[in-house]
Structure 1
Amino acid sequence: MSSTRLVTLLGAAVRHQRHLRDLSQRRLAALAEVSQAAVARIERGERAPTIPVLERLLAAMDVQLVVGVEPLDAHLDARIDDLAARPIAERIDALGLDELLSRLPDFPKVITGGTAALVQGAPVPVDGLEIALRWQDSKPFTRWLETNYGQRWNARWEEFGGVRLEPEEPGEHRWSTLYGEIRATMCDELPETIEVRHGERSYQVVPLVELELTEPRAAELLRRYRARQQASGS
């Protein structure tokens, strides 16, 4: 686990406990005798709290930190094993894929990334819809985001919101919406696809072999899945 990920996890834990108790950052800061700005930076993962400060923050909420170790990225292996035990239709339903696709405007789009791997049967962890869109369709996509409570990922603050929606604006092509998260690859021409059918639904997806060549994130998940298969003798 990288130090950056650990800082993010600690900040998320503090924020989660604070929300459970309906405390404001200002109130928690007063209880723990730290500044409100320090609490904000810790929760955003911008600042690694010292052990004494972390203990005071948690103690102010009547909880304490429990430290443990696990194999590197064991959480990914656990999610892969869990997904592998489920039927493909159940994995697709859990993602809310069909509803999100049906809600998007009727412009050409291609399923790519981890979502394409999932549709093709690979039990890889996916948290949102990954699609390829043409730049010429960016304006209707932006209008759809505006009407469906879209918020763009703000890499500076490590949260959604606070930046302009338009794909043309600098930043990650990642949005939260009323119907789920969307990650978009903007391109001049859509990639070649294959058709995959599940029940009565048809999906246009980037083939697995192409994903492994062009999508580093999806390729890493596929390699991890295959390593799990080999380790189990499947």
Structure 2
Amino acid sequence: MPSTRLATLLANAIREQRHLRELSQRELADAAGISQAAVARIENGNRAPSISVLEALLAAMDVQLVVGVEPLDAHLDARIDDLAVRPIAERIEELGLDELLDRLPDFPQVLTGSTAALLQGAPVPVDAPEIALRWQDSKLFTRWLETNYGQRWNARWSEFGGVWLEPEEPGEHRWSTTYGEIRATMCDELPETIEVRHGRRSYQVVPLVELELTDARAAELLRRYRDRQLTSGG
């Protein structure tokens, strides 16, 4: 089962409360009567805990859960509003984009998805750098992943690892590496790009108009951003 927003929220809450009390995962696990591995999985957001496990974890820290509701995807609109006032340079650094690009092997690649939208000024959330590369370069990419401790996303278990590393194998094109997470779109030929510049660096990116036609996730985020602009009179 894919990780859900609720699992992520619960993971953040448990991890934050544990850190406030200066507890290790082992200490919290012992107090709650579960395994340290279970605490690690819950805090990674890979698994949502059962109600009984959640109550045991919180009770071990002398807190309880308060449940509320909000309009669907209100968190996403709030995040877009927050990103709209942040400098692009700050977001590039936070993403670790330049370091990753400097470390990738010397084969043709372009930035796509939400990463390309970010570099063109759209305040859309970006969870990991997204590149497009050719199928003919997949073996070079695989060797780079092997060198940099790559692990491929395992959709069945909602965690990295346990599946074949190579892009040719079925599964999501998403990996964790020494330089953070990276996502890839594999294609026969690279899409047309434009060049954008930030600071002293130039980036080859897929234009926004093309993203809206070919990338459903980026298109939805761009639509939400424009809707926010209209709502706020921007």
Question: TM-score, normalising length from structure 2?
Answer: 0.84
Does structure 1 conserve the Cα–Cα contact (< 8 Å) formed by 2:117 and 2:124?
A: yes
Deviation at 1:93, TM superposition (A): 2.1
Does structure 2 conserve the Cα–Cα contact (< 8 Å) formed by 1:42 and 1:48?
A: no
Moved more, 98-107 or 161-170: 161-170
CA RMSD of aligned residues (A): 2.8
Hey, what does 1:63 align to over in structure 2?
Answer: 63
Structure 2 unaligned runs (5+)?
none
Cα–Cα, structure 1 residues 57 and 93, in superposed 2: closer, same or farther, change >3 Å? closer
Q: Helix, strand or coil for the counterpart of 1:24?
A: helix
Hey, what does 1:167 align to over in structure 2?
Answer: 167
Deviation at 1:115, TM superposition (A): 0.3
Cα–Cα, structure 1 residues 164 and 36, in superposed 2: closer, same or farther, change >3 Å? same
The match for 1:24 among 26, 32, 37 is 26
1:50-99 Cα offsets, whole Å, 9 max, x none, are 3x443223212333212222332222222211211122222222222112
Hey, what does 1:213 align to over in structure 2?
Answer: 213
Structure 1 unaligned runs (5+)?
none
Hey, what does 1:149 align to over in structure 2?
Answer: 149
- Counterparts of 1:51-200 in structure 2, within 5 Å, are 52-200=52-200
Q: Helix, strand or coil for the counterpart of 1:172?
A: coil
Does structure 1 conserve the Cα–Cα contact (< 8 Å) formed by 2:6 and 2:48?
A: no
Moved more, 68-77 or 11-20: 11-20
Identical aligned residues as a percent? 76
Amino acid at match of 1:201: R
Does structure 1 conserve the Cα–Cα contact (< 8 Å) formed by 2:95 and 2:128?
A: yes
Does structure 2 conserve the Cα–Cα contact (< 8 Å) formed by 1:133 and 1:190?
A: yes
Cα–Cα, structure 1 residues 87 and 208, in superposed 2: closer, same or farther, change >3 Å? same
Hey, what's the Cα distance between the residues in 1 that align with 2:143 and 2:203? Answer: 24
Question: TM-score, normalising length from structure 1?
Answer: 0.84
Asked whether 1:49 is paired with 2:50, we answer: yes
1:10-68 Cα offsets, whole Å, 9 max, x none, are 3564466568622339x73x6445x6599579836556623x44322321233321222
Does structure 1 conserve the Cα–Cα contact (< 8 Å) formed by 2:25 and 2:36?
A: no
1:103-159 Cα offsets, whole Å, 9 max, x none, are 111100011000000011101110211011111111111111111121211112212
